[in-house]
Structure formats: C-alpha cells, structure tokens
Amino acid sequence: MRSLAAAALLLAGLAATPATAQVTYNGWNLGPDFGAMIDQVNRDRAAQAQQMQQGEQQIVQQAMQDPVCQQYYAQHRAQGGQMPWPQFAWQCAATGRFSREGTRAFMDNERRNQGAEQDRLMALRDAERQRGMAQGQWADGYGRNQGEMGRVMQGQQTWTDPRTGQQQVLPYMGGAVTRDPANGRVYARDASGQQYVQGSDGMWYPLRQGW
C-alpha cells in the first residue's frame, strides 16, 4: 500500500543528518562519528514510519467512506478485480478518485521520488566510504581482558549482541564492513571502533565489547 513517496520519506533522514559529532582518539580528531549518525537516522526513520502509518490509515478510512470510491470498487469487483478494498481505497485517494489530473500528478510525484531514492542510495554509499577512510586513521590498543590478548594480536575482538547474547569475533582493522558467511549477518564498524549488527528490519544495533 505504501508508495515510493513514503519509502523516500523513510530514507530522508540520512542525507539531512549533519555530520557534526566528531570522534577523537588520543587527542586526534578522527572525523565524523558515523555510529552516532546511524543511531539518529534509525530514530528518525522509526518516528517517520509511525507518522506515515497513521497518516495512511486516516486517508484509507476517509476513502473507504467516499461514495465515489465505493462505486469504483464495485465496478472493479464486477469486472473480476481482486484488489483488497483498503488498498483500492488508498489508490482512489492517491489519484484524486482516478482523475486524469490526479493520476498524472501521482505518477509525476512517483518519478521524482525514484530519483530522490537513487540520490539517497548514493549518499549512503558515500557515507560508508567516508567511514572506511576515517577508520583507517585510528589505532586500537590491546583489549582490557587478557583472555582477548591473542585475538587482539591478530586484529580481532569479541563482541556480544545484548539482544540475544550471541558472541561474534570481528576485526578491528581493515574494512569497516564484515559479513559472517556462517550466519549471513552483516556487521559495521564506525571510526571509534564501535561495532554494529544489522537487524532483519534493516536497522543497525550496537554490540557490547567482550563477553
């Protein structure tokens, strides 16, 4: 039911988020704190998603009470159409009751949103490249736990997902993004060395260092 306009709105927070938070290490300015940026984007996306869902529900409810939309839907079903009534009502409202002007405006808006979505994806890739460049500027010391010393010497550390208790050994040097071939999960590291795991909802969740 959600249009590309809604999808574009969900991503709008990333490009608009200013990279003002800085990461420092031993007095050196390592650049923007991409971890803080990701957290802010996730909060903005969640708030925008809730707002859009409420707005869509209101539009659908109003359209379902519209006699014109009801008549169009009766014709749709009489002609063998199987689209659910709430989805049909949303399309009726989005296109101005399927008017020529409303349909044209709807399609033009969708094309603009597709272009904006491509721009947003490019911004995401650029942010990842910047994070990788920033990560290469810092050097991490040995782990606090002596049990981690061997892994630290090999450029790795143990991290724990607070949500599940699952542990994962991840590199603290080299590429900022790691994919575990065993479970398919994707992990990302920001300029401060903080690790994140990408959830099934597409959002990034911080991990806890150690066990």
In a shared domain, residues 167 and 109: no
pLDDT of res. 7: 38
Give the whole-angstrom CA distance, residue 152 versus residue 145.
10
pLDDT of res. 192: 86
Nearest to 176 by CA among 135, 141, 130, 123: 135
In a shared domain, residues 77 and 166: no
Give the whole-angstrom CA distance, residue 20 versus residue 33.
8
Give the whole-angstrom CA distance, residue 205 versus residue 85.
37
- Decide which of 135, 165, 200 is a domain's last residue: 135
pLDDT of res. 139: 41
Q: Highest-confidence range of 35-44, 145-154, 180-189, by mean pLDDT?
A: 180-189
**Does residue 46 surpass a pLDDT of 60?**
yes
- Average pLDDT of 84-107? 90
In a shared domain, residues 99 and 25: yes
* pTM score above 0.85: no
In a shared domain, residues 80 and 126: yes
In a shared domain, residues 123 and 173: no
Give the whole-angstrom CA distance, residue 34 versus residue 40.
10
In a shared domain, residues 96 and 25: yes
**Does residue 180 surpass a pLDDT of 70?**
yes
Number of domains making up the chain = 2
**Does residue 188 surpass a pLDDT of 70?**
yes
In a shared domain, residues 128 and 32: yes
Give the whole-angstrom CA distance, residue 110 versus residue 6.
10
Phi/psi for 113 (5° steps) reads -70, -35
- Whole domain around residue 179: which residue ranges? 147-209
- Average pLDDT of 76-91? 92
